[in-house]
Structure 1
Amino acid sequence: MMFDLDKWQEILATIRKNKMRTFLTGFSVAWGIFMLMILLGSGNGLSNGVASNFMSDAVNAMWIWSGETTVPYQGLKSGRPIRFHNDDYEQLKNMPGVKTVSGRFFMGNTRYAYGKESGEYTTVTCHPELNDVDQNVMLEGRYINQIDIEQRRKVVVLGKDIRDALFKDQPALGEYVKINNVPFRVVGVCMEPESTRNRNAFMPVTTAQTVFNGSNRLHNFALTIDGETLAESQSIEENIRRMLAKKHRFAETDDGALGMYNQLENYIQTMRIFQAIKIFIWIIGIGTLIAGIVGVSNIMLIVVKERTKEIGIRKAIGASPASVVGLILLESILITTVAGYIGLVLGSGLMELVNLAMMQSPGGEAQQGGTLFLNPTVDFGVAVSATVLLIISGTIAGYIPAKRAASIKPIVALRDE
């Protein structure tokens, strides 16, 4: 019986008598489950870290920029610069598969001044839809809106670092800063998620084109696309390339004329790699568990060998095969369960401590997106399932020699030396 006190006392006496053997058996099991927890936690940490880096921008984001042709096309020579304009923006807005699009006109580093404070910062000129891609967090005020674009308002959204440098502890909203000596009203303060540098300012692209001699010129586009699979994403990318190649007369295969970066495509491909890494980790972890199970099985074989005469005596005085099997089986289950639990607690605990240390490190969550390792913890259900699997496997490993012991004839067992 499972709850036979005499039987458990006998098992504990056997374990105490063979401390080193029991320790080594338990260690092999505990080490197997401990390493599985470490491997799974590390795999999750890597996967979460890379996914977090992607999430700092919209996963379905795409960037398009122009360059120079590298091959002749339709009688036009190579080395011809491709230039985007406002009508390209209008066409992209109406393309199937494009959710939002923002044109950008580069001003580069520009001088900002307020009172006695000044400095050079990066000005990003854009449409309101740029924030669908960048996903900046508004700390004060608002982002660029459509009325700003239509009325070519002289307004600006400052990055947190610019606000801190120019205004110190003073309020910035509603104040005017000079950008290359042209006054612009501050309508918002923002910060990039997962970034330690917030030195960008945002202004309406139409205002930049008018005030800073940009004409109707655009340098690049930031889009979000309506694609969820790799095939959909690539199809939208090909359609955009085809449209712009036809409009600006360059070969579709000319990567020098048109550059494109598809974040969704890279995200899907990267996550596939990490899925393969997770499978590989599971294979290594299961291999480690099997090594522990084999260790239990070998020890049980030795136990049977050592106790052959004892088993013969038990059977000679009327012990049933089931009681012989149960005795050895319970010893196997006890060692496997206790050792597996210890390995589970140590492995999961270590991963939780690593996660806690990372959360409390300087910068904490704000810097997590810049790391390749994030939240290296193991799902509790997975951890428990692995431990239960180990216990079941340890039971089977103990059953094989136990069954062999039960089949020994008493006369043969008693003759054993």
Structure 2
Amino acid sequence: MFDIDKWQEIFATIKKNKMRTFLTGFSVAWGIFMLMILLGAGNGLSNGVAENFMRDAVNAMWLWSGRTSMPYQGMKENRQIRFTNADYELIKHLEGVEFTSGRYYISGNRFAYGNESGEYTAVTCHPELKKVESIEIEKGRFINEIDILETRKSVVLGKDIYDALFKNKEAIGEYVRINNVPFKVVGICLEGGGTRHRNAYIPVTTGQKVFNGANRLHNFALTINANSIEESKAIEDRVRAALARKHKFDETDRAALGSYNKLENYLQTMRIFEAIKIFIWIIGAGTLIAGIVGVSNIMLIVVKERTKEIGIRKAIGASPASVVGLILLESILITTIAGYVGLVLGTGLMEGVNFFVEQQYAAAAAANSGNGETIFRNPTVDLNIAATATMLLVFAGAVAGYIPAKRAARIKPIVALRDE
């Protein structure tokens, strides 16, 4: 392995055929370079989509009421389904449900403070909405259980509302008017689901009492304890069945009870990206194999050109193993160096792209109060993947040189010496 004469001979052969060696190495370098680019781009898309899902809790589910679209137990279709606070208590205690919040819609939400005013959205909710929608508190606090029980006129303002009404002045403890009803500001927040923070959150019981909602609720936001599509569907079916029994409609009636299961969509999307990664590996491996085949063909030519030399070696006592070792070392050297160059260039380029993407993301996040949208994030290649690719190259180089090496080892000295 460390025979200096053998290495000198290998380098002399490479130096003698510079263009051939360069083109052979280029095909291998291009193969691993494209593999790194494809893997990095696939990771970037996967990470970007996953991050967008993470803006709310990944295991979130939303339910809303509608009108029945089919008869049920002698009752006609087109019946209005109306949720109440009792439905909130029902859902909250179902198996598999983690956090739950109900919502009563308020229309015509005009906010005012001093001489400033604007149209924004007032969201009535329970405290657990903070976990369902990944709401980040920038200052103060979120709605709590005491607000719910005592129907306090408390409000948590989205960052955009605060900026528009207070102009960077202290807001905690101040009162804003929502449809001419004063609410005390208890917190400033950043919403998890978007780049515009134009929602304000008030206790659902207060919204029902102040805005004539009685015990009415329009929809529910909840998180579920599930790790697979099958588990999430089972919990969703359990919730639908419980509400269907209570309100007397067919549990398969999607018009009566609409739902959006985010975990199911997330897992299905991630499965698609896993399939894309496999496809990328197939394409990249195919490109790499094409380069390795090129190396093997070149080594066959090398063996052909050096047939007489190999015959002389064997005639003076060289063993078949030494002949095989010589050809294998040259093949491994070319593929390893060329592959490493392609690996470094590919990972380096993706690191450069990642730096540019992060700069753009940071600028977007700063412009949108820390909540930038993206579909492409961290397009880098894992070090384990790079190490695996390097080992694959060494193995491929050995395979590429093995067939020509075995052919060289089988050459009989007398036949080799006659070769022209």
Do both share a fold (TM > 0.5)?
A: yes
What letter matches 2:38 in structure 1?
L
Number of equivalences: 416
The aligned counterpart of 1:404 is 407
Tell me, in whole angstroms, the C-alpha distance in 2 between the residues paired with 1:413 and 1:109: 95
Tell me, in whole angstroms, the C-alpha distance in 2 between the residues paired with 1:99 and 1:205: 19
Q: In the TM superposition, what whole-angstrom CA distance separates every residue of 1:195-234 from its partner, at most 9, and x where no partner exists? A: 3211111000111111111111110000111222222211
Superposition TM-score, scaled by structure 2 size: 0.95
The aligned counterpart of 1:209 is 208
Tell me, in whole angstroms, the C-alpha distance in 1 between the residues paired with 2:333 and 2:195: 52
Task: Quote the offset at 1:274 in angstroms.
Answer: 1.5
Tell me, yes or no, if structure 1 residue 322 matches structure 2 residue 325.
no
What letter matches 1:198 in structure 2?
H
The aligned counterpart of 2:122 is 123
The aligned counterpart of 2:2 is 3
The aligned counterpart of 2:28 is 29
The aligned counterpart of 2:335 is 336
What letter matches 2:271 in structure 1?
R
What letter matches 1:405 in structure 2?
A
Q: In the TM superposition, what whole-angstrom CA distance separates every residue of 1:318-357 from its partner, at most 9, and x where no partner exists? A: 3332322222221111101100100110111111111111
The aligned counterpart of 1:170 is 169
Tell me, in whole angstroms, the C-alpha distance in 2 between the residues paired with 1:362 and 1:234: 35
The aligned counterpart of 1:293 is 292
Note the 1:68-79 alignment, pairs <5 A: 68-79=67-78
Tell me, in whole angstroms, the C-alpha distance in 2 between the residues paired with 1:310 and 1:370: 65
Q: In the TM superposition, what whole-angstrom CA distance separates every residue of 1:351-397 from its partner, at most 9, and x where no partner exists? A: 11111111011545847863222111111011111111111121121
* 8 Å Cα contact 1:84-1:220 kept in structure 2: yes
Tell me, in whole angstroms, the C-alpha distance in 2 between the residues paired with 1:55 and 1:266: 12
Q: Which moved more, 1:155-164 or 1:386-395?
A: 386-395
Tell me, yes or no, if structure 1 residue 376 matches structure 2 residue 375.
no
Tell me, yes or no, if structure 1 residue 357 matches structure 2 residue 360.
no
Task: Quote the offset at 1:278 in angstroms.
Answer: 1.5
Change (3 A) 1:194 1:5: farther
* 8 Å Cα contact 1:368-1:374 kept in structure 2: no
Q: Which runs of 4+ in 1 moved over 3 A?
A: 362-369
Tell me, in whole angstroms, the C-alpha distance in 2 between the residues paired with 1:227 and 1:333: 49
Q: Which moved more, 1:217-226 or 1:367-376?
A: 367-376
Question: Any unmatched runs of 5+ in structure 1?
Answer: none
The aligned counterpart of 1:47 is 46
What letter matches 2:96 in structure 1?
G
Task: Quote the offset at 1:71 in angstroms.
Answer: 1.3
The aligned counterpart of 1:255 is 254
Identical amino acids, percent of aligned pairs? 71
Question: Any unmatched runs of 5+ in structure 2?
Answer: none
What letter matches 2:29 in structure 1?
A
Task: Quote the offset at 1:126 in angstroms.
Answer: 0.3
Tell me, in whole angstroms, the C-alpha distance in 2 between the residues paired with 1:31 and 1:368: 38
Secondary structure at the counterpart of residue 91 of structure 1: helix
Q: Which moved more, 1:306-315 or 1:351-360?
A: 306-315
Secondary structure at the counterpart of residue 13 of structure 1: helix
Tell me, in whole angstroms, the C-alpha distance in 2 between the residues paired with 1:201 and 1:340: 56
Tell me, yes or no, if structure 1 residue 387 matches structure 2 residue 386.
no
Report the RMSD for the aligned CA atoms in angstroms.
1.6
* 8 Å Cα contact 1:149-1:205 kept in structure 2: yes
* 8 Å Cα contact 2:364-2:373 kept in structure 1: no
